[in-house]
Amino acid sequence: MGLMDQIGHALMDNDELHFATESRCSPEERWLVALSAPLSAFNGNFVNAVETGQSPEALREGVAGMWGVQDRKSFEQTARWIVDEGHREKYRGVWHGLVKLDTAHRSAPLLLRSVASLVFPGLFMLKLRGELDYEAFANQTGKSVADIATLMGSYSDWMDDLRKPLGVQPAEITDLVAWDAVRLASLSRWAVDLGYIDRGEFTGFASGLVGPVRAAYGNWAQVSAAYVAAGLIWNYSEARQEALVRTNAMLFSDPRSPYKDLPLH
């Protein structure tokens, strides 16, 4: 998985944000396209248009392989599942455990942290993790205990990535609904591109989690941070961490980014 994941991410065209030359979007469509931006940036899709810029063949294969969506019926079923369930509640406990671990680590005296990281990092981290039940988290998420242990072992590095360059304190993120909302908006765009739904139906499907998103987050940075956090809980690897953080950071550094001129609220 590690090597194939690295190869897969290396082949993705996401070294910069991609923009459609001409974007014909209504204000509501523009906002929903902005909501999909964390995944659009990661995949190399357009970040300013309902159209994704991907070839129909590659898009059809990817959507069928990753989502099992091959027609209107399967799209509607998947969209309904994301709105009603998704992963947000399933991953909530793991996220809160990671925040607890991060808080404990950062509240330890600096000297202790420095010495521990150099002399006995394993013992120090084991002490911090003592209150966390890996088996319970594995049962909750459907992952293996080994996967959960790998995720917990990597937390310090990518928690710092949320702080910088994304500029979000992990404790600010109390809900992972962004993970489901970003994917719903993206899947709805793909369904338009593939002809599974009409363009006029896009906003109806893509907006299914807008209310919870606006209730959970104060700005786009928190949306991106929550998306990255849930994405790493879903499938952690160093390659995914690098790609998710880098592509989401571009949404704040590129002056053309939809985040720059569209407020979350």
- Domain edges within the chain: 34-86+177-261, 88-172
Using only the alpha carbons of the chain, give its radius of gyration.
19
Share of the chain above pLDDT 70, in %: 86
Higher-confidence residue: 168 or 106? 168
Say whether pLDDT at 69 is over 60. yes
Structure confidence by residue, pLDDT tens digits, 108-144:
665 555 555 555 455 455 555 555 677 888 888 888 8
Predicted pLDDT of residue 21: 93
CA distances from 260 to 67, 219, 254 (A): 30, 11, 8
Predicted pLDDT of residue 141: 83
Chain-wide mean pLDDT for the chain? 88
Structure confidence by residue, pLDDT tens digits, 191-241:
999 999 999 999 999 999 999 999 999 999 999 999 999 999 999 999 999
Section 80-95 average pLDDT = 95
Q: How far apart are CA 28 and CA 204, in angstroms?
A: 10
Say whether pLDDT at 261 is over 90. yes
Predicted pLDDT of residue 155: 75
Nearest-CA neighbor of 260 among 51, 30, 50, 22? 30
Q: Look at residue 265 and give its three-state secondary structure.
A: coil
**Sorting pLDDT into bands at 50, 70 and 90, what band is 149?**
confident
Predicted pLDDT of residue 88: 96
